[in-house]
Chain A
Amino acid sequence: KAGVTQTPRYLIKTRGQQVTLSCSPISGHRSVSWYQQTPGQGLQFLFEYFSETQRNKGNFPGRFSGRQFSNSRSEMNVSTLELGDSALYLCASSLGLEIPGQFFGPGTRLTVL
């Protein structure tokens, strides 16, 4: 089976812009989780989707949003980018029958200038 794929792998944006990141889970997996990783804060949970419904949300401002499509693919959007949003954004998928996030993608490296 193909692993979790994320696009794009690298992205450079400027403050105030918005960005959309995409994640395709492993075939058959219905749960998708998103995480932000920075050197200072480590891995932080953003949100989790299961069957197109958000069922878990971390402590991030409303500028961070996401959605999941009927084919389980997921997107996350960050509006009004700030310098502090520069991070590695990781997507993880699971069957949904156990703890989410067991299979991680390679991540999208977002740099905000």
Chain B
Amino acid sequence: LAKTTQPISMDSYEGQEVNITCSHNNIATNDYITWYQQFPSQGPRFIIQGYKTKVTNEVASLFIPADRKSSTLSLPRVSLSDTAVYYCLVGAAALNYGGSQGNLIFGKGTKLSVKP
């Protein structure tokens, strides 16, 4: 089972770039890495997903080294509204991807606080 480890909390200021790293030493060959954002009393919101190298979308970038034992979520120029808990998820792909179908395990999450 791919377990994840993230920093419990991080502080930043508006306009800065924030990098949150997640460790997943036991990641399986068919596992994908997904990051979510969660505000209080709301369900998590999908941010980005990747398998290897670098993925970028309009919200964030995801860097995955060749050994895939860690990943880094990069949030460019954060604002106060980015204050939230960020979760790293490592899990199997769907049946048609031939994934391991193991348990899906969320990390404990990183509480990001953005200050003015």
Name the interface size band of chain A.
20 to 34
Q: Are B101 and A55 in contact (CB under 8 A)?
A: yes
- Report the Cα distance A56→B104, complex, angstroms: 8
Interface residues, chain B, with chain A CB atoms under 8 Å away: 32, 34, 36, 41-46, 49, 87, 89, 91-97, 101-109
Give every chain A residue within 8 A of B108 (Cβ-Cβ): 42
For chain A, residues 37 to 93, give those with C-beta under 8 angstroms from any C-beta of chain B.
42-45, 48, 50, 55-59, 88, 90, 92
A98-B97, A100-B91 known; 16 new pairs, CB 8 Å cut-off, are: A42-B87, A42-B107, A42-B109, A43-B106, A45-B106, A48-B104, A55-B101, A56-B102, A58-B103, A96-B94, A97-B96, A98-B93, A99-B34, A99-B49, A101-B89, A105-B43
Give every chain A residue within 8 A of B93 (Cβ-Cβ): 98-99
A4, A42, A43, A92: most-surrounded residue (chain B CB, <10 A): A43
Q: Are B43 and A92 in contact (CB under 8 A)?
A: yes
CB distance from A89 to the nearest CB of B (A): 10
Give every chain B residue within 8 A of A48 (Cβ-Cβ): 104
Q: Are A107 and B43 in contact (CB under 8 A)?
A: yes
Contact of A104 among B45, B92, B101, B102 (CB under 8 A): B45
- Report the Cα distance A4→B43, complex, angstroms: 10
CB distance from B45 to the nearest CB of A (A): 7
How would you classify the secondary structure of chain A's contact residues: helix, strand, loop or mixed?
strand
- Report the Cα distance A105→B44, complex, angstroms: 8
A33, A45, A57, A101: most-surrounded residue (chain B CB, <10 A): A101
Q: Are B43 and A106 in contact (CB under 8 A)?
A: yes
Q: Which residue of A is nearest B109, CB measured?
A: A42
Q: Are A100 and B45 in contact (CB under 8 A)?
A: no
Q: Are A90 and B92 in contact (CB under 8 A)?
A: no
- Report the Cα distance A55→B30, complex, angstroms: 16
Contact of A100 among B104, B105, B106 (CB under 8 A): B104
Give every chain B residue within 8 A of A45 (Cβ-Cβ): 103-106
A31 within 8 Å of B by Cβ?
A: yes
